[in-house]
Chains A and B, each alone.
Chain A
Amino acid sequence: MASDPSISASAGPGISSGAGVGVRSREEAQPSPSTGLGPYRLGLRRLRRNKAALAFGALFLLIVVLCLCAPLYAEHVAHTTPNANHVTDTVTVGGVRKDVVSPTGQPIGPTWQGRFLLGADQNGRDIAVRLLYGGRNSLEVGAVATLITMVLATLVGITAGFFRGFVDGVLARILDLIWAYPVVLLGIALGTSLALGGITIGPLEIQGNSLMVPAFIIGIVYIPYVAKPIRGQVLGMREQEFVDAARVGGAGPLRIMWSEILPNLSSTIIVFIPLMIANAILLEAALSYLGAGVQPPNPSWGTMISDGIRLIPSAMHLTFVPGLMLVLAVLGVNVFGDGVRDALDPRAKVRLEDVQERAEVQR
């Protein structure tokens, strides 16, 4: 996302104008009489044919389900909690009692049994339990951040694109301001300051160590990346006949935005969601790794990687396992997201292939 994505509203691959299902009025969006299938059912049919996307979607779903089952695993299998320290405890492995953390600070490796299945960290905390709870936290942050991004970006994009002029000028400059900062640096700056004092917006008070703080930060920093394409799309859409028709029919701006514009953006929004979830999970991991995301002792994949770094030569699993989970989760949701985009906007895939073909020829 290096360049202004609003350009892609009129040309190029990715999230483009009409997002594949074209610009339709609400009436046009009804099921086609010739096929009997609406655009979403058609999209679903295409998605079902994309086995790779479904497989990766299933992988992501599996990770989500596993992470949701974290409390069950912790209570009934590992018999601990994610933050419980077992520094001086011992565990019996193959009939031999072993220190969970050795006198020189080396944590135990994978035991391949209920307790300390994947080993322990420096504080003698069960890696498997923290991995699942960390996944919950990472996914929760990713989901909430995506929700914040999508809601605010849609609101800002539609408003800026529809009203143009002064409103667009102000909103576009604010977006530019956020856009101008590198995402990670902005996230670190916000994360470091908000982790200390928390967030207070009127009666809403969020403590510094709440998961909602990184979710809020990530949600905010990604707004321009979604709002700008939406704004570009709305700029084109507001000149379409179905909007004129609604206007002639006496609909006010709010009604037009809600009833005519928003439904035509839905596929764009749907395509953006998995993309933003993947990005949010990655940014959360980066911020947590740098100490500006999920606050200790709460686990997240990012904090677990960070915690394991200093023992990487002797206990590589402390870094490798959460890293692998992160890769699998992001890969799963990304490939599935691509599948959703191809299903809802097959032309985007064709355009993408065209671009790649041209690039090959030029080379």
Chain B
Amino acid sequence: MQVRAGFLGAAIAAVLALVVAGCGGGGDDSSTSSSGASSGGSEGGTVTVLMGTAPDYLDPQLGYTTQSAEPDWITYTGLLTYRHATGSAGGELIPGLATALPEISRDGLTYRLRLRDGLTFSDGRPVRASDFAYTIERAIRVNWGGKSFFTNYIDGAAAYDSGRADSISGIQTDDATGDITIRLTEPYGAFPNVIAFPSAGIVPRGTAMRNLSNDPPPGVGPYMYTQASVNRGFTLERNPRFARFAIPDIPTGHVDTIRVTIVSNTQSEAQRVLNNEADVFDPGDTLPPSLLPQIESQAGDRFSREPIPSTFYFFLNTTKPPFDNEQARQAVNMAIDRDAMVRLASGFLKPSCWFIPDGVAGHPGSDASCPYGDRPDLAGAKRLVQESGTAGTKITVWGQERSPRREYVDYYTDLLNKLGYDAQERIIADEVYFPTIGSGQTDPQTGFADWIQDFPNPSDFYLLMDARAIQPTNNQNFSKVNDPFIQRQLNRLNPVPATELDSVADEWSALDQYTARRAYVVVYGEETMPKFYSDKLDFDAALFHPTYLNDWTSLQLK
């Protein structure tokens, strides 16, 4: 969940016509611990979290980065949410403020949920079903970066967004019964994931339709904001009302106060946690490689690398030479040294050749072997380039400035030159990178790209391979993949409800293996993030959630 995901929502959702949704329960099998139970540490106390990157907003209907999702997830519970667990278990949708998972009509167009009884906001006001409708309207009105997830699928949301309607006609609520009915314009299998976004976390009707980052509204969650300033820091305190609701699988937290401070650089951020002057290093920040040896030797028992569902790859534009030639694409896949990429990432990368990452349904898993080998074969790749007749082609490799992404591109450019191409780099500022390479005018040949999941669903990743996502501006299908087989499969698999993903995991896996064979992209790994705490915290009891990173409800003083 990065700011960039907003582009996807705006650009792709507008063109995709995804089909069918369904209903059901279930979820991924939990391979790791789930939260809620104390491991024997002390209750109460204060924890200090440091962030080197400030949250974009502290208003729940505006936040769209990992830094804002971490506090919002435990402060504004939605009708649905994710299990507080690590690994693939953390991707399981569970009822939040709703009594159960949604009941979905056979045509996939109608979702029915019921609000739990007796809920109140942190300020004591009762929660009503109509607050949900207001929350979605507010997210649209304040212009949330991912609002197209609502406006493109909820009936009447687009009319509300354009000012043609005063409310969203597709959301019907009954405050007396707590019933909530959502009608979609078209079936969308990932819609349960959409209503689990923290931005759908319920706020009271009448909350001002403007950015309230410095005075966040009350919510329903284990914690509540008591002080907030986006660029300086904020404080969360335990919500005394929440425990009474006894919502299953949503923990009430251990510490009384979580104090978050925004710091100016990650070097001092890491140093302070290493010296036990602060308790949590924010995983959204890059741990300075220069401190890594010291951290690993002095604080090895309170530091780990946690994989998050993400895909790091080089795109290969299939409409331009040399990568319109399949042999040329295969050659690059054959030559890439993923071990080198791991070293360039200072170990914060888990090598992979699959587009669907580990922890997401459809990941081919360890049984499947990479179609072009697990080890680099430079000689074989050079032969392929010669056979393809593309040797000597001029290539511009696009990349971002920030480390280690620039180092990835330096390596990749050198690799292309070793293969016999005439490659040059074009490094541009991080802020303008994706709009630039997504522009039809630029139409880049190859370069760096990544995707960090919005929600744990393979369709979230395969939006990047969907031919309908090829756009003149804000294009996200950088390789310009337009493969009839992939399109057919997406039409079949995308409408499968998020709650029934396991039933089609094998089909997603087969699709991902096909994509790897066709070498449309060069996938080299999945990002891992640092879980790094002070000595004061119970490291083993703390959970690292695949979507919302550090689960602050699991933080506990020793």
Contacts and interface: CB of A to CB of B under 8 A. Distances in A.
A297 B408 CA distance: 11
Given A83-B414, A104-B296, A312 B290 contact: yes
A248 to B, nearest CB: 59
A104 B290 contact: no
| Of listed A84, A87, A195, residue having the most chain B CB within 10 A | A87
Interface in A285-302: 291, 295-297
A209 B394 CA distance: 13
B347 A105 contact: yes
A188 to B, nearest CB: 11
A101 to B, nearest CB: 5
B233 to A, nearest CB: 25
Contacts, number: 94
A122 B414 contact: no
Contact of A196 (B291, B343, B403, B428): B428
Nearest to B415: A85
Interface in A72-115: 83-85, 87-88, 101-106
Interface in B284-306: 288-293, 296
Interface string B327-348: 0000000000101101111110
A123 B344 contact: yes
A311 B289 contact: yes
B103 interface: no
Interface in B307-353: 337, 339-340, 342-347
B256 interface: no
B426 A101 contact: no
B105 interface: no
A292 B487 CA distance: 42
Nearest to A312: B290
B427 interface: yes
Contacts of A196: 426, 428
| Of listed B292, B403, B407, B411, residue having the most chain A CB within 10 A | B407
A123 B410 contact: yes
B144 to A, nearest CB: 31
A41 interface: no
| Of listed A88, A103, A291, A297, residue having the most chain B CB within 10 A | A297
B424 interface: yes
B377 interface: no
A104 B292 contact: yes
Nearest to B292: A104
B239 interface: no
Interface residues of A, number: 29
Contacts of B339: 87-88
Contacts of A34: none
A31 B290 CA distance: 63
B272 interface: no
A310 B425 contact: no
A104 B288 contact: no
A196 B415 CA distance: 22
Nearest to A192: B429
A192 B401 CA distance: 12
Contacts of B342: 103
A67 B378 CA distance: 32
A289 B340 CA distance: 25
B404 interface: yes
A297 B409 CA distance: 9
B344 A296 contact: no
Contacts of B347: 103-105
Interface in A165-196: 192, 195-196
B235 interface: no
B411 A123 contact: yes
Contacts of B494: none
B238 to A, nearest CB: 38
A202 interface: no
Contacts of A208: 426
B343 A85 contact: no
A218 interface: no
A199 to B, nearest CB: 15
B443 to A, nearest CB: 14
A315 interface: yes
Contacts of B406: 296
A253 B459 CA distance: 75
Contact of A296 (B267, B291, B425): B425
| Of listed A101, A104, A196, A208, residue having the most chain B CB within 10 A | A104
B509 interface: no
Nearest to B436: A196
B293 A122 contact: no
B413 interface: yes
Given A123-B410, A297-B414, A85 B289 contact: no
A33 interface: no
B435 to A, nearest CB: 13
A84 B413 CA distance: 10
A267 B139 CA distance: 70
Contact of A85 (B288, B296, B414): B414
Contacts of A195: 426
A228 B407 CA distance: 43
Given A84-B414, A85-B414, A296-B410, A314 B293 contact: yes
Nearest to A196: B428
A313 interface: yes
Given A105-B292, A209-B424, A88 B429 contact: no
B404 A122 contact: yes
Nearest to B339: A88
Contact of B425 (A87, A297, A313, A315): A297
B424 A122 contact: no
Contact of A297 (B401, B404, B410): B410
| Of listed A123, A209, A315, residue having the most chain B CB within 10 A | A123
Given A123-B411, A291-B401, A105 B340 contact: no
B425 A105 contact: no
A104 B503 CA distance: 39
22 contacts: A83-B414, A85-B415, A87-B339, A87-B343, A88-B339, A88-B343, A105-B292, A106-B289, A106-B293, A122-B404, A123-B414, A196-B428, A209-B424, A291-B401, A295-B425, A295-B427, A296-B410, A297-B425, A310-B290, A313-B288, A314-B290, A314-B293
Q: Top 3 closest A-B pairs, CB basis? A: A105-B346, A87-B340, A313-B290
Interface of A: 83-85, 87-88, 101-106, 122-123, 192, 195-196, 207-209, 291, 295-297, 310-315
